[in-house]
A and B are shown apart, each in its own frame.
Chain A
Amino acid sequence: MAEYKQRRILYSTEALQAKVAEIGRHISRDYAGKELVLVGVLKGSLYFFADLTRAIDIPIGVDFIAIGSIPNTTNQTGIVRITKDLDLDITGKHVLVIEDIIRTGLTTAYLVQNLDARKPASISVCSLLVNPDQQLINVPISYFGYEITNTWLIGYGMDISEKGRNLPYIAEIEKINS
């Protein structure tokens, strides 16, 4: 199991709350009068999703989706599948996918493709963190909190082997054993 030590707090609880409130204001303004469904990508977006939905002051639908990798005997890498699907019907509705972090964009691209097939009115992405240097795919990110570099992070939903998710801040860490 991976061990780690915290280097520094990158984003404090207060900074995160201010940033989330700011994103919430933008979303409330942009989607006023529209039927909006926020889709949280489990588990990483858990706390961001909870805070963001409460920072939005227009009526919204909330739902969650989770994906996982299923091993494939004919392919070393396996295949990505939805392990927890939406309960809401998003056809004709505006969908905002909520991510904790987008690095390569592969996961987000998979989700956007999958959700787009359900014929929503529109589909956009909101991610608390993005790493433009690592991003391979041009996914439709409409809102993001911070741009990050290629570092290991923990807290506010992000984990290392399930540890550290519930920290109320985001910290940069150093892996000391994996």
Chain B
Amino acid sequence: MKCRFPDAVQGSDAASIHGRTGGIALSILTISRQLGSFGDEIAEALARKLDWELINRNQLVPRFFADISDSREKHLLNESAKFFLSQTKAGGTYLDVLKESLLDLAGRQSAVLVGFGSQIIFADFRDSLHIRITAPENIRQARIRKQFHVSENEAIQILETADRKHKRFVSAVFGIDLTDSGNYDLTLNTALLSVDECVATILSLQREHSLRLQIEAECEQCDSIDHQAEVSLFKNPSEADFAKILDMYQIDWKYEPKTFPVEWDAEGNVTMAFSPDFYLTKFDTYLELTTMNQKYVTQKNKKMKKMRELYPGTNVKIIYKKDFYSLIDRFSMGSSDS
């Protein structure tokens, strides 16, 4: 969907403005958590807010292995990490079945996956984010004592057992160290962060990430060039001033996320391209500032005309010098009326 705010924005489609439809339709969030870190609570809240399915370790056997295992094998799958590496009757390991089933699921729906090394299974999955939730030992102990009404020693024991089991599962099945920060896109320490704060942070990252992937996919589809991975710095003070105005209205923008080739030579080399300064993500609009002399304005007009011809449906506008300074003047007067 090109226009994220069509003629009438349908509330039921509101998620589409955050990148869940269009180029990138499905997403996976994996949550690895320490016991007592509020990781489960965060995962549940995320699944509820996103309206995505929540899948944890307890659901693996009934969901993915019910038809291919007898009661003994089910028991072993629940209790032994290494059993995942055993061969199934149909050939291939239980781990292979798990990977296939999860990747198949990810092709059909979005989901929040908690534990069981899902961050490793989806390490190379395009629209996935891997989150690790931790908390300091003393805080986890206090939470466990409160939750289970146990003594300090019992809490220490519960945590040691849980940490050991988590680590052993990922190490035995995937040969990976669970605590390696390289496995995660984001690690949150809940010592001082509430569940709500963590959820808001993850949701914000998920939205931005989906949007970045959506722009990336659009670039692939229409042969434009994706600049999002580059560090973007404003080329002149006018652009910085304009960004301040957009920030004032809390309008999300990206700076020069794409280049649109508009002219090629006989060998197919790009001889002219257009990189609009701003992309307003929720309104699918590109804006180009022209605060320089008329010679460049004419060139930009030409590029914009070609861009409209070559990339139909792309909303692009040029903000001319006079209009730009009129905007700046208005905001220096403190007006907010449109």
Contact = CB atoms under 8 A, between A and B. Distances in A.
B93 interface: no
A136 B319 contact: yes
Name the interface size band of chain B: 35 or more
Nearest to B278: A136
Interface in B248-289: 248-251, 280, 282-285, 287
A69 B334 CA distance: 7
B175 interface: no
A119 B249 contact: no
Contact of A113 (B10, B250, B317): B250
B108 interface: no
B250 A119 contact: no
B319 A109 contact: no
Interface stretch (A5-13, A14-22, A55-63, A73-81): A73-81
Contacts of A123: 8-9, 11
Most chain B CB neighbours (cut-off 10 Å) among A79, A91, A99: A79
Nearest to A44: B337
Contact of A104 (B11, B244, B327, B334): B327
B315 interface: yes
A147 B335 CA distance: 22
Interface string A100-144: 011111111110110011011111100000000011111110100
Given A79-B250, A80-B336, A122 B10 contact: yes
B50 interface: no
Contacts of A109: 249, 251, 280, 282-283
Contacts of B12: 121
A77 B247 contact: yes
B248 A138 contact: no
Contact of A103 (B245, B317, B338): B338
B52 interface: no
Given A69-B335, A120-B11, A140 B6 contact: yes
Name the interface size band of chain A: 35 or more
Contacts of A137: 251, 280, 283, 285
A71 B332 CA distance: 11
B223 interface: no
Contact of B5 (A44, A92, A101, A139): A139
Most chain B CB neighbours (cut-off 10 Å) among A99, A101, A104: A104
B248 A79 contact: yes
Contacts of A44: 337
Q: Is chain B's interface secondary structure helix, strand, loop, or mixed overall?
A: mixed
B104 to A, nearest CB: 31
Given A106-B251, A136-B319, A142 B8 contact: yes
A113 B248 contact: no
Contacts of A69: 248, 334-336
Given A76-B244, A138-B315, A112 B287 contact: no
Contacts of B85: none
Nearest to B319: A136
A119 B14 contact: yes
A140 B250 contact: no
B163 interface: no
Interface string A64-98: 00011101000111111000000000011000000
Contacts of B319: 136
Nearest to B3: A138
B180 interface: no
A103 B319 CA distance: 13
Contacts of A79: 247-248, 250
A69 to B, nearest CB: 4
A67 B317 CA distance: 26
A88 to B, nearest CB: 15
B17 interface: yes
A68 B334 CA distance: 9
15 contacts: A67-B336, A68-B336, A71-B334, A75-B247, A76-B244, A80-B336, A106-B338, A107-B336, A107-B337, A109-B249, A116-B11, A122-B9, A123-B9, A124-B9, A138-B5
Given A80-B248, A92-B11, A136-B287, 19 more contacts: A71-B334, A75-B248, A78-B248, A78-B334, A79-B250, A102-B338, A107-B337, A109-B251, A110-B250, A110-B251, A113-B250, A113-B282, A116-B14, A117-B14, A123-B9, A136-B285, A138-B315, A139-B5, A140-B8
Interface of B: 3, 5-12, 14, 17, 244-251, 280, 282-285, 287, 315, 317, 319, 323, 327, 331-332, 334-338
Q: Which 10 A-B pairs have the closest CB atoms?
A: A107-B338, A69-B336, A124-B8, A110-B249, A77-B248, A120-B11, A122-B8, A123-B9, A77-B244, A106-B249
